[in-house]
Amino acid sequence: MSENENAIIERTKVWVEPQLKDCDVGHDFWHVQRVFNNAIFLCNIEGGNRFIILMAALLHDVVDEKYFNPHQKEFEIKKYLTSEGLAISQINEILNIITNMSFSNEFEGNKQKFVEFKIVQDADRLDAIGAIGIARAFSYGNHHNRIFFDPSVLPIDVKSKNEYRKSVSPTLNHFFEKLLLLKNLMNTETGKEIAIQRARFMIDYLKQFINEYNVINKSETVRWFDLIKMFE
Ligand code: ADP
Ligand code: NI
């Protein structure tokens, strides 16, 4: 990357950080920094345009519809990137990545993904799984007043963006409705390898969780263990 591009990256960090101050702690600037570092790691192995990848990694949650009006934010990002002197084609590429990479978009059919898109999406998804993923899920659940777990409320097979967003199930169900699915949705070989290891950790965690949850009857325990097995 050129010196100018490095300087833009540094200024973009400063631009992004305050925008995320009201998000839950799972979507704060630490999340962005982890995604940024995941993206560097993946880019070193998988290639792609490093500047576009890192800019998209930094900006990806500023357009999150859970927290912001995405059209308003898109406008602000465009204005900011123009002021930094980026070409229209670069701005469009970055916006294409960050407005389409959300998990909820998976319900809207297969889109053609270019390498930079694949890397930023994988970088974000890696932060949704493993030990950090567990912490983020409970943080999100707390932010939305969700209980941890109710043995009688089973996970659902979410089929649409609307259904996914509207789900108010206990946090543990989110592992079955999204987090455990991610390892099969990774775009890059490197991302997939890391995801498999992190998914294994979550499976062990879920088994331990059910074992410790002593307010659950035998048949429910068997049912939850059967569910976990489906993702092993
Ligand atoms: P994306 O960032 O790909 O759009 P989401 O917005 O659905 O995906 O989720 C981002 C992160 O927020 C998840 O990885 C998880 O940590 C948390 N999260 C989202 N929905 C839930 C939920 N229903 N329960 C617990 N955590 C959630
Ligand atoms: Ni994110």
CA 180 – ligand 2 centroid, Å: 17
CA 69 – ligand 2 centroid, Å: 16
Q: Residue with the nearest Cα to atom 10 of ligand 1?
A: 128
> What is the model's pLDDT at position 75?
94
* Owner of token pair 């946090």: 171
> Which segments of the chain belong to CATH 1.20.58.1910?
128-232
Nearest 5 degrees, angle CA 41-CA 32-CA 180?
Answer: 75
Q: Residue with the nearest Cα to atom 16 of ligand 1?
A: 137
Q: Residue with the nearest Cα to atom 27 of ligand 1?
A: 137
% of the chain with per-residue pLDDT over 90: 82
Please name the fold of domain 1-106.
Answer: Cyclin A; domain 1 (1.10.472)
Pocket of ligand 1 (CB under 6 A): 26, 66, 102-104, 128, 136-137, 140-141, 167, 171, 174
Looking at every residue in the chain, the average pLDDT score rounds to: 94
Region 200-227: mean pLDDT is 96
- Per-residue pLDDT band for 110 (boundaries 50, 70, 90) equals low
CA 19 – ligand 2 centroid, Å: 13
Range from 123-137, 164-178, 215-229 carrying the lowest mean pLDDT? 164-178
Q: What is the DSSP letter of 69?
A: -
Which residue has better confidence, 68 or 43?
Answer: 43
> Which segments of the chain belong to CATH 1.10.472.50?
1-106
Which residue has better confidence, 167 or 208?
Answer: 208
Ligand 1 atom with the shortest distance to the CA of 104: 4
Please give the full DSSP string across 13-35, using - where no structure is assigned: HHHHGGGGTTS-GGGSHHHHHHH
* Residues less than 5 Å from ion ligand 2, measured at CB: 61, 124
% of the chain with per-residue pLDDT over 70: 100
Assigned token pair, 122: 């994988």
- The CATH number assigned to the domain with range 128-232 reads 1.20.58.1910
Q: How far is it, in rounded angstroms, from Cα 97 to Cα 213?
A: 40
Q: Render pLDDT for 136-183 as a digit per residue (tens, 0 to 9).
A: 999 999 999 999 999 999 998 877 777 777 778 999 999 999 999 999
CA 165 – ligand 1 centroid, Å: 9
Q: How many Cβ atoms are within 10 Å of 185's Cβ, its own excluded?
A: 15
CA 66 – ligand 2 centroid, Å: 11
Range from 35-44, 48-57, 79-88, 161-170 carrying the lowest mean pLDDT? 161-170
Which residue has better confidence, 118 or 168?
Answer: 118
Nearest ligand to residue 170 Cα:
1
- Per-residue pLDDT band for 42 (boundaries 50, 70, 90) equals very high
